Amino acid sequence: MPVHRSEPPRPRRPHLAGLLLTAVLSLLLATHPSPAFADDPPPVGETPPRGSAHMGMGVLAHDGTDGVPDADLAAETEGVDVSSHQGDVAWPTLWDSGVKWAYVKATEGTYYTNPYFTQQYNGSYDAGMIRGAYHFATPDTTNGATQADYFVDHGGGWSRDGKTLPGALDIEWNPYGDACYGKTPSAMVTWIRDFLTRYKARTGRDAVIYTATSWWKQCTGNHSGFASANPLWIARYASAVGELPAGWSYYTAWQYTSSGPTVGDHNRFNGALDRVVALANG
């Protein structure tokens, strides 16, 4: 009886359609790369994506740094500000290091909300801190009142619980274009006034203004009309605060570095912890 030897299996040839599909997908990925997320750093020399702005983004580039302040915090209270760049924040670590208050980025323009806002805002509260929310202003996209509404509707509200600071308006260099957002000083003042007026109408509180003196001079003409109502949060990475914008004779908070421990952006409140509580209570 003859023996039939089985032949070894022949190697399968790739299906032509599969090869074509693979080639097409490779071409598409090469010519249409994955979209950048708002929190991804932009390539060197390119404009960052909308939504990626954060407090002090332009301070180093425009004002530089000039030493560090002394370590005497007897009459000041340490705080931090965070945005999505910090992701999930180690709030207990910050608390144990002496940080007692925090501001969290809630919104930008009318097109962006911080995806880490809940962890950061509630996490700082749960750690024992007094915390508030801030809005990064983009006066070239929508008017001030519209952005104030967006801010309040997306985390920027206020309640008299002794642990919630009034909302802060972060108004500084435009990271996406013209430093003054294409506005004249008078138009910028109008934009800021519209934001502040609507915020107070919605919350009953006067918002804190975060800015840098050099930007304020350039883009508002060193306007002095907000000092009587709105607390000043000044940005300057130096051994001293230096000159303040017109109208303010003192600052409420000072962002003094972008390279502090744990989260980078560190601040000093101009007073002991009971004054932070007083600002929270209004």
pLDDT for residue 239: 87
- What is the domain-level CATH number for residue 108? 3.20.20.80
pLDDT digits (tens, 9 = 90+) for 223-256: 999 999 999 999 999 989 999 999 999 999 999 9
pLDDT digits (tens, 9 = 90+) for 38-60: 444 444 457 888 876 676 556 65
Contacts of 167 (CB under 8 A, 6+ apart): 106, 132, 133, 134, 135, 151, 152, 156, 157, 158, 199, 203, 205, 207, 208
Average pLDDT of span 64-69: 59
247, 228 Cβ separation under 8 angstroms: yes
pLDDT digits (tens, 9 = 90+) for 116-152: 999 999 999 999 999 999 999 999 999 999 999 999 9
Is the predicted pLDDT of residue 10 greater than 90, yes or no? no
Is 164 a member of any domain?
A: yes
Query: Active site includes 96?
Result: no
Q: Which helix (H) or strand (E) holds 190?
A: helix 185-203
pLDDT for residue 153: 98
Contacts of 256 (CB under 8 A, 6+ apart): 68, 69, 236, 237, 238, 266, 267, 268
Is 10 a member of any domain?
A: no
- The rounded mean pLDDT for the chain is 85
pLDDT for residue 21: 45
Is 49 a member of any domain?
A: no
Is 227 a member of any domain?
A: yes
pLDDT digits (tens, 9 = 90+) for 164-211: 999 999 999 999 999 999 999 999 999 999 999 999 999 999 999 999
Question: How is residue 98 written in tokens?
Answer: 């002496």
- Number of domains forming the structure of the chain: 1
Q: Which of 81, 149, 206, 265 is catalytic?
A: 81
Is 125 a member of any domain?
A: yes
pLDDT for residue 73: 53
pLDDT for residue 37: 36
Average pLDDT of span 214-228: 98
| Sole residue written with tokens 């972008």 | 258
pLDDT top residue among 24 and 249: 249
pLDDT for residue 46: 76
Is 5 a member of any domain?
A: no
Q: Which of 63, 108, 149, 172 is catalytic?
A: 172
Query: Active site includes 172?
Result: yes
pTM score of the predicted model: 0.79
Is 230 a member of any domain?
A: yes
Query: Active site includes 81?
Result: yes
Question: How is residue 155 written in tokens?
Answer: 């985390």
96, 269 Cβ separation under 8 angstroms: no
Q: Which of 39, 170, 206, 265 is catalytic?
A: 170
Which residues, in sequence order, are bridge partners of residue 269? Answer: 77, 253
Host domain of residue 191: 78-281
SS3 188: helix
Is 12 a member of any domain?
A: no
* Cα maximum dimension of the chain: 111
pLDDT for residue 258: 92
